[in-house]
Amino acid sequence: DGGITQSPKYLFRKEGQNVTLSCEQNLNHDAMYWYRQDPGQGLRLIYYSQIVNDFQKGDIAEGYSVSREKKESFPLTVTSAQKNPTAFYLCASTLDRAYTGELFFGEGSRLTVL
C-alpha cells in the first residue's frame, strides 16, 4: 500500500537535545512538507521540498532543519534552538508543486519535551 510513514509516533526529549523525526513516502511524490500542529493553531508550515536536494523555509522554520537526499525521505530535526518544541508534527507529500492543495499526510509524530 502506498502512503507516508512517520516515526516515531511518540517521542520524549530532554531540554537541550536535538531529535530527528523520520518521514518516508512510497507514493513517488516530488513535493514533501513538514507541518506543526498545536491546539487551536491549525497547521503551520515548517519546511517544504519540491525536489531532491532542495528545500525552502516555511512560516516557522526557526529551530528546525531538514534534508532531502532521497526522493522518498524528508527527515526533520528539531534542534535545541527551538524554544517550544512540544507539538504534533505532520509530514505530507503531493505529486508536485502544482497539486499542493491535494496533500497526503502521515499519521504524525507527537514530541514532548520533558
Partner 1 sequence: QQQVKQSPQSLIVQKGGIPIINCAYENTAFDYFPWYQQFPGKGPALLIAIRPDVSEKKEGRFTISFNKSAKQFSLHIMDSQPGDSATYFCAASKDDKIIFGKGTRLHILP
Going 104 to 78 to 76 to 57, the CA torsion angle's sign is positive
- The verdict on 95 binding partner 1 (CB under 8 A) reads no
Rounded least distance, CB 72 to partner 1, Å: 17
- The verdict on 101 binding partner 1 (CB under 8 A) reads yes
Between CA 44 and CA 27 the distance in angstroms is 23
User: How many residues make contact with partner 1 (CB under 8 A)?
Assistant: 22
Q: Which residues contact 93 (CB under 8 A, 6 or more apart)?
A: 4, 25, 27, 29, 31, 32, 33, 74, 103, 104
Q: Which stretch binds partner 1 (CB under 8 A): 12-20, 60-68, 72-80, 106-114?
A: 106-114
Q: Are 32 and 92 in contact (CB under 8 A)?
A: yes
Between CA 1 and CA 113 the distance in angstroms is 33
Between CA 19 and CA 30 the distance in angstroms is 25
> Which of 17, 26, 70, 107 lies at the binding interface for partner 1 (CB under 8 A)?
107
Q: Which stretch binds partner 1 (CB under 8 A): 13-21, 61-69, 77-85, 97-105?
A: 97-105
Query: Which of the residues 46 through 75 are near partner 1 (CB under 8 A)?
Result: 48, 50
- Residues that bind partner 1 in the complex, under the rule CB under 8 A: 4, 6, 31, 40-43, 48, 50, 90, 92, 97-98, 100-108
